[in-house]
Structure 1
Amino acid sequence: MMLISLNCKENRNTMNSEKLSIAYMICTSCQKILRKQKEVRAPQPVTTGPTAFIPEKEIVQNNPVDGNTNLLILEEYSTTRHSDNTTRIMGLHPQYLESFLRTQYYILRMDGPLPFEYRHYLAIMAAARHQCSHLVNTHVNEFLQVGGEVEWLNGLEYVPQKLKNINEVNKILAHRPWLITKEHIKNLLKTGENSWSLAELVHAMVLLAHYHALTSFVFGSGINPKIDQDGAPAVSNFCLCNASNENNMEEVTLMYNSPGTSDSVSELEVLMERMKKLQEENEEEASQEEMATRFEKEKKESLLVITGAYEEELIPTSYMSRYVDDPSFGYKDFARRGDDHLPTFRAQDYCWEDHGFSLVNRLYSDIGQLLDEKFHVVRNLTYYTMATHEDVDTTMLRRAIWNYVHCMFGIRYDDYDYGEINQLLERSLKVYIKTVTCYPEKTTKCIYDSYWHQFKHSEKIHVNLLLMEARMQAELLYALRAITQYMT
């Protein structure tokens, strides 16, 4: 898969706008530089496998998909018709992979309210919010294969007004979903000939949330771009013509350096002991007032989890920026100072099981069932192991990760003791969760390597699956609640 790099002088001076819109060529000078690795340090990962974070041999050894056990599922439900890098990594957990592929295939390929070209363009718009060239490239190809208008690939200003209208919701849903209101829904449904139907809107919301969340998995797992037939990695949003000096190249390659492992050999034992202690303490339930206080404390403490994302703002490349409006709009802490007026989303007032599931299933047939199955699979996925320990009940740990994501998005469960989060999620893990969930494009190998040094890579990928699905459900809850408020 290859892309135009709009920053290359060669491209700017010789290509007309029609050729630029095709978006399939890469600057020839960049190709030459990439292939002369002995002369120039190209910005490539140190691994040639599906991820820059995990040695390929460990993926092959532990991956049932690589062992052909799930090829029938891949052939039937993979939208790319083969095992791409993302599905190979998800294949470390084949039970989840099957549920994921069924859902993705349904929203992209099966009968539904939206035209097929709209589906892929919405995927492009969603992935571009986080500058995920891997997904943008994939769906540019898919968009053209289903007969999409080439002109649309010039950017948002070239798409139908109907698609332009949903861009504001895409932006808010990707970064601050708690800001979506019934007024946003009303504006989309009451715009004359460019109006969305309720069914179309639900389909669009599912697509947008799906691809926002998938960018978290792609970046959180260090998914590598595909390698072209000549052995050069596909380049999307970085052009070597922009690297004017050696220092720039050093900054690019640094993100792939391993930060070294922890000297602590008791990390696992400490976590095991805390889980055991919490299980014993759970026999004595705290009052509702105390539970509410612990939630507010955890919500405010999430402000103190500072990630590298705060240090600088990434500017979208010229190619990516065509699909992004208001690029400076990003995640801001739900509980940030001065915003005390933002109400907590109380799960007992609107939850997936009692409200979201039935609404989405009624307006977009069968998708509710598929989503519900996917949420259920990932939340209950366990091998009863934790690093080197066997026969371990990891329910408490999985729930803490899921609820921490929802806490950052202002969602509270009255029956959950948020004091468990601080006991089970150490600071480096919290930084990783916040980065992958809220600023996925800024995830680095250093952040990935910084937590759970004694755990298996497959267990860390399981964390990424939880983050992806928790984020998707959080976005859907806000979107579906706004639709419900509009309808009532």
Structure 2
Amino acid sequence: MSNLVSYFLPQEHIKTLTGETRFPNASEQEVYERVTEEIMNTIGRVPHHERIMGHFPLYLEKHYEVIKKLFCSDLSISYLWRYYIAYMAAATHRCEYLMRLEEHFSRTIEGDWFEETEEIPQKLMSLGKANVKLAHRPWEFSEKDVKDLLIQWNSNELVLALTELCQFHCLSGFVFGVGVAPEPDLPLVNHKEPPSPIIKTTKSKTNIAAILKGHTEHSETDDYISDSSEDLHGYEEDIYFSRIAGDSLCYINYPMDCISRPFNASEFRFADQAYFILEKMVPEFSESIWNRIRTAIAMTYDYVGQDSGIETGPLRRAIWNYVQRVYGLQYDDYNYTDINRFLKINTKKYIKKIACFPETVTKQDWVNIEIDLTYDEMIHLNLIICEARFEAQLVYMLHAVQRALDLG
């Protein structure tokens, strides 16, 4: 069995679980050892995606707090159903790696699984339409969708289920974005590994450190929306994965010229209105979600590539706001010309693929990103992308919940 952890990251770069000092900072070392040991003791392994997250121990800690509360706490939805909801969500992006893991955990930890489609309760399958909408067009998720689901679900368990769907849509993005390889004992059945391409770097890398320092001239005249990433698209429907997801829906670009928007993003932010609803409906782990999102965007070692002492906040905010703008969320207090300043075309393409249709990401995309980043910085980039998408999905979902339940 192969011990390969990632198709994109060199195996020698992956931090080992035991036997060596892995971090220059003693506190990070302690967090890494404590959290990976807890994961190992709980589920019998540290899955490949969490080993890669472990390059940022503080993020891994916050991530595992969310996962632990989702799957190790007494909640209003049964354990079996929670595993299947994660399974459904991963299917929207054909993320068989996560699907195999969730099925494995349900069988080994809970001793149960749905062997046939006919065994799946209608209440659980009713999530299918919401699942694909939130995954591919969250701006179309509406008050009516929530009200239709409330016929079978109570409000608290519904918000829990929808939040879990969003969680595993975004986690699928991380898996594909860093090229996570299958677990040795859980080979993929319905996914063919693409042949190794001849990787060619098509464009030179941007000296992002110099831009952050303000040492290079740049143009702010381009409209960042009008870039070639707009013609990207996902795969056509796959019957196997659509059946598991519960419905089918193809991604489309957010209609930028749309006059009628569901709401003004500056007036319904996650940090304010949306989080209030999340805290009210799923108090068990709303704070953990908040902490993880904030950790992803705030993490920095103040260096880019080989350059130290760099304030990377503007770059992190450009990535975050580009992802959310792709999902139709635009804020009055952000200067969107900064996106063109920091993110060139191939960088935007890579980011958009991870955020919108991660199943299409290739190693060529990874290599051709136009920012000169270290392997760890590429991991951080992926964490930012996935948390920005997670927040965007939550905002759309919670706005629809607010309207349906008249919580405004």
Where does residue 197 of structure 2 map in the other structure?
A: 257
Name the stretch that deviates more: 401-410 or 133-142.
133-142
Q: Structure 1: which amino acid aligns with 2:167?
A: H
Superposed counterparts of 1:409-448, under 5 Å: 409-448=327-366
Where does residue 100 of structure 1 map in the other structure?
A: 63
CA distance in 2, matches of 1:263, 1:478: 36
Contact kept, 8 Å, 2:344 with 2:370, in 1: the verdict is no
1:139 to 102, 105, 126: 102
- The alpha-carbon distance between structure 1 residues 169 and 278, as it changes in their structure 2 partners (threshold 3 A), is farther
Secondary structure in structure 2 of the residue aligned to 1:322:
helix
Deviation at 1:393, TM superposition (A): 0.2
CA distance in 1, matches of 2:210, 2:332: 26
Long gaps (5+) in structure 1: 1-34, 36-46, 240-248, 287-292
Contact kept, 8 Å, 2:59 with 2:292, in 1: the verdict is yes
Q: Structure 1: which amino acid aligns with 2:243?
A: R
- The alpha-carbon distance between structure 1 residues 404 and 263, as it changes in their structure 2 partners (threshold 3 A), is closer
CA distance in 2, matches of 1:109, 1:64: 29
Deviations 1:383-408 (A, max 9, x none): 10100100000000000000000000
Contact kept, 8 Å, 2:15 with 2:55, in 1: the verdict is no
2:46 to 61, 66, 83: 83
TM-score with structure 2 length normalisation?
0.88
Where does residue 205 of structure 1 map in the other structure?
A: 162
1:109 aligns with 2:52: no
Contact kept, 8 Å, 1:331 with 1:439, in 2: the verdict is yes
Deviations 1:76-96 (A, max 9, x none): 356634222111111111111
Where does residue 226 of structure 2 map in the other structure?
A: 301
CA distance in 1, matches of 2:43, 2:238: 26
Contact kept, 8 Å, 2:233 with 2:252, in 1: the verdict is no
Deviations 1:50-80 (A, max 9, x none): 1000111122389559988623212335663
Where does residue 214 of structure 1 map in the other structure?
A: 171
> Superposition RMSD on alpha carbons, in Å?
3.0
Q: Structure 1: which amino acid aligns with 2:311?
A: D
CA distance in 1, matches of 2:329, 2:115: 36
1:187 aligns with 2:148: yes
CA distance in 2, matches of 1:222, 1:158: 33
Where does residue 331 of structure 1 map in the other structure?
A: 251
TM-score with structure 1 length normalisation?
0.75
- The alpha-carbon distance between structure 1 residues 453 and 55, as it changes in their structure 2 partners (threshold 3 A), is farther
Superposed counterparts of 1:63-462, under 5 Å: 64=23, 70-77=32-39, 80-145=43-108, 147=110, 150=113, 152-155=114-117, 157-189=118-150, 191=151, 195-228=152-185, 234-238=187-191, 252-253=194-195, 256-261=196-201, 264=204, 267-268=206-207, 271-277=208-214, 297-298=223-224, 300-301=225-226, 304-306=228-230, 309=233, 313-316=235-238, 318=240, 320-327=241-248, 329-335=249-255, 340-343=258-261, 345-452=263-370, 454-462=372-380
- The alpha-carbon distance between structure 1 residues 80 and 307, as it changes in their structure 2 partners (threshold 3 A), is farther
Contact kept, 8 Å, 2:139 with 2:262, in 1: the verdict is no
Aligned sequence identity (%): 28
Contact kept, 8 Å, 1:180 with 1:479, in 2: the verdict is yes
Where does residue 55 of structure 1 map in the other structure?
A: 10
Deviation at 1:348, TM superposition (A): 2.3
Contact kept, 8 Å, 2:90 with 2:98, in 1: the verdict is yes
Contact kept, 8 Å, 1:216 with 1:437, in 2: the verdict is yes
- The alpha-carbon distance between structure 1 residues 262 and 357, as it changes in their structure 2 partners (threshold 3 A), is same
Deviation at 1:146, TM superposition (A): 5.2
Larger radius of gyration: 1
Where does residue 290 of structure 1 map in the other structure?
A: none
Long gaps (5+) in structure 2: none
Secondary structure in structure 2 of the residue aligned to 1:421:
helix
